Amino acid sequence: MSELIDVPRGLTGVVAAETAIGDVDGEAGMYHYRGIPAVDLARDRTFEDVWQLLVVGELPDATTPASFLDRVAAATAHPAVDGVVEAVVARTDDPLTALRAAWPLLASARGTRPLYDLDEDARLDDAIAFAAAAPRVIAAVARGEDPGPTGPVVSGYLAALTGIRPDPAHERALTAYLVAAMDHGFNASTFTARVIASTGADMAACLTGALGALSGPLHGGAPARALESLDRAGDDPEAWIRGELAAGRRLMGFGHAVYRTTDPRSALLREVAEGFGGARVAQALAFQGMA
């Protein structure tokens, strides 16, 4: 009989690959992007700034040419995106389904080749192209029509979604959320993308696979379940929480297992939410206090 092997829960402590992009320090309660605390970036930098930091390796400054922003703008306005957005908007009103369909369609329209056959610059072009298309696809599906290229990622997305120029406070809040969520170590979706990339597959295959992992309720789908919990708890969150715990069911949205202190993302987003206030925020804070 073979000897049983002790498999770490969730592959805790298992080294699967190396990365220079970021790391999570659960003991200290922080995570960083290329050595810079991610929460600091979320508070002070634009989405494009941090996107460039992750994929190029450095933040832009006054002397940096606008080549990265130019590449993003060109990718968003690429003719292939027009037909793809039109196709998915006609077939679904679910943003996640639309994006999972859009990336393979865009790969076909662009003639995307396997990563194995590309040099580093071409791989970066593909990464930018598919990421840049995402906000346009999501906004178009939510709105029911393609808004077309709309400028900077966050303000453009909000304008496309609502049809009006966004309030700077709303733009800053969404920027903080998106930057805080850009990277978080070797999570399930990142792991999935890297496994697919390791085979030399094309960028669309990598991202679509990652999005499939992200959609799960134990990963990127958890926030939606947390909001559903608020609705179900109603005016008596304590009774609802006690009932869920007694039934052995999981409560979504209360930290991440890697942190032994407060999740820094939670602290940041709570600060952002409290800045807006309102009944929904008050309900969420009461729910969190009960849990």
Query: In CATH terms, are 37-214 and 222-290 the same topology?
Result: no
- For the chain, the domains span 37-214, 222-290
Which pair of structure tokens corresponds to residue 261? 């202190």
What pLDDT is stored for residue 16 in this prediction? 74
Judge residue 28's burial from the number of C-beta atoms within 10 Å of its C-beta, 0-12 exposed, 13-18 middle, 19 or more buried. exposed
Fold of 37-214: Citrate Synthase; domain 1 (1.10.580)
Q: Considering Cα of 37, then 40, then 41, then 42, what sign does the dihedral take?
A: positive
Q: pLDDT tens track of the chain, all 291 residues?
A: 567 777 777 666 777 778 888 888 878 888 899 999 999 999 999 999 999 999 999 999 877 767 888 999 999 889 999 999 999 999 999 999 999 999 999 999 999 999 999 999 999 999 999 999 999 999 999 988 888 887 889 999 999 888 888 999 999 999 999 999 999 888 889 999 999 999 999 999 999 999 999 999 888 888 888 888 888 887 788 888 889 889 988 877 666 667 667 788 888 988 999 999 898 888 888 777 665
Q: Which CATH class is domain 222-290?
A: mainly alpha
Closest to 253 measured CA to CA, from 276, 278, 233, 279 = 233
Judge residue 201's burial from the number of C-beta atoms within 10 Å of its C-beta, 0-12 exposed, 13-18 middle, 19 or more buried. middle
Give every CB contact of residue 180 below 8 A, 6+ residues apart in sequence.
38, 39, 42, 265, 268, 269
